[in-house]
Structure 1
Amino acid sequence: MLDTHARKYVEPVIQKAAKSLAKRGWTANQVTVVGFMIGSSAGLFVYLGQPYIAVMALWLSGFLDAVDGAIARQTKPSLWGTLLDILFDRVVELSVIIGIAFRFPEAMWALLLLTSAIVLSMTVFLTVGALADKSGVKSFYYQAGLAERSEGFILLSLMMLFHSQLIIFTLLFFFMILFTVTQRMIDAKRMLS
């Protein structure tokens, strides 16, 4: 929801960073890889008991994820870059979930539910994207929903920072994703029928 409706407020900063990096010779795929490496470290930091560093790494990777797309659109987007972007986004999220699970094993059951919901959501998202005739500014059809990447980052951050409420935030995230799956299924039924 935030990615769809609030992006316009941060877009000038994203565009400025993209232009600056592109001017220095950075490609979209290089920014994707750097964002991936930074974001993947978030899980390690949360496991090591450094939740503030983990949250900073997560959000910096998210910013670079937006910047790499802006660079791609300013230059030449590639299907390989799209694949890397989607794959690395999931690995970053999984690294955080795995780091939390190892740090707080008592919440493993809730984290497994969350991971299952993410798999369902991505299955619907990617399948609809493959079947849809539509496209937008991205190189694939993007289905908006309640739980998009920004909401995920907010909830992952809350999960890392407030471990005494970890199960509550994890279940909230789980139900938000299930709601999003329902939204996307309804949209898919309308579009694909």
Structure 2
Amino acid sequence: MFDAKLRPLIDPPLNRAGKVLAAWGVTANALTLAGLALGLAGAAAIAFGEIGAGLALILANRLLDGLDGAVARANGPTSFGGYLDIVADFAFYVAVPLGFGVLAEANTLPALVLVASFVLTGVSFLAFAAIAATRGEETEAHGKKSFFYSTGLAEGGETIAIFIAMCLFPGWFGPIVYGYAALCILTVFQRSALALARFG
């Protein structure tokens, strides 16, 4: 919901840093993989009860996720880079609630519900992108991407805000997760309505 609005604020400094990193020979794919490693380490830290360390690693993951796109724009994006980036994003999104699910038995059911809602939003997102590609449709509402990014109520920015809230208020994990899972399901309905309007 907020991602497209945040792009004009975060893209300029990221793009400047991306040009520097590209000049140093750093590749976008290397940053994507490093970010994934940090994100998975953050989920593991949470599972072992080190929630503060988990939060720091989650934030580091998001920084590298922004920088890999900036480096890709500086060097020229590749199709494989776009594929790797989205796979790494969803692996990270699923790992964090699983970490909380391992942390405490009371978290298991809400964690599974959130993972299921992520699967549904991911399927709707990727199916929309695939069909938009066959129709030659493009958008730069979320910046220049490797494929069509459809807007939704629950996007990357909202997901990170929820992850931060989970880490700051772990005792409220269940209510936080159930509320966000509901927003994810609403996003599926919203995106489906948009698909019907555009593709029907």
Q: Mark yes or no: TM-score above 0.5.
A: yes
- Could you tell me which amino acid in structure 2 is paired with residue 170 of structure 1? V
Q: Whole-Å Cα distance in 2 between the matches of residues 74 and 155 of structure 1?
A: 31
Q: 1:3 maps to which residue?
A: 3
The answer to whether the 8 Å contact 2:98/2:112 transfers is no
Shift, 1:16, TM fit: 2.0
* Pairwise CA RMSD: 1.2
SS at match of 1:6: helix
Shift, 1:57, TM fit: 1.1
Q: 1:40 maps to which residue?
A: 40
Moved over 6 A (4+): none
Q: What TM-score does the superposition give when structure 2 sets the normalisation length?
A: 0.92
Q: Whole-Å Cα distance in 2 between the matches of residues 101 and 114 of structure 1?
A: 10
The answer to whether the 8 Å contact 2:94/2:118 transfers is no
Matches within 5 A, 1:39-188: 39-132=39-132, 133-136=136-139, 137-188=144-195
Q: Whole-Å Cα distance in 1 between the matches of residues 115 and 162 of structure 2?
A: 13
The answer to whether the 8 Å contact 1:39/1:92 transfers is yes
The answer to whether the 8 Å contact 1:51/1:160 transfers is yes
Shift, 1:160, TM fit: 2.3
In structure 2, runs of 5+ residues without a counterpart are none
- Could you tell me which amino acid in structure 1 is paired with residue 137 of structure 2? K
Q: Whole-Å Cα distance in 2 between the matches of residues 50 and 188 of structure 1?
A: 42
Q: What TM-score does the superposition give when structure 1 sets the normalisation length?
A: 0.95
Q: 1:18 maps to which residue?
A: 18
Q: Whole-Å Cα distance in 2 between the matches of residues 174 and 66 of structure 1?
A: 24
Q: Whole-Å Cα distance in 2 between the matches of residues 77 and 99 of structure 1?
A: 32
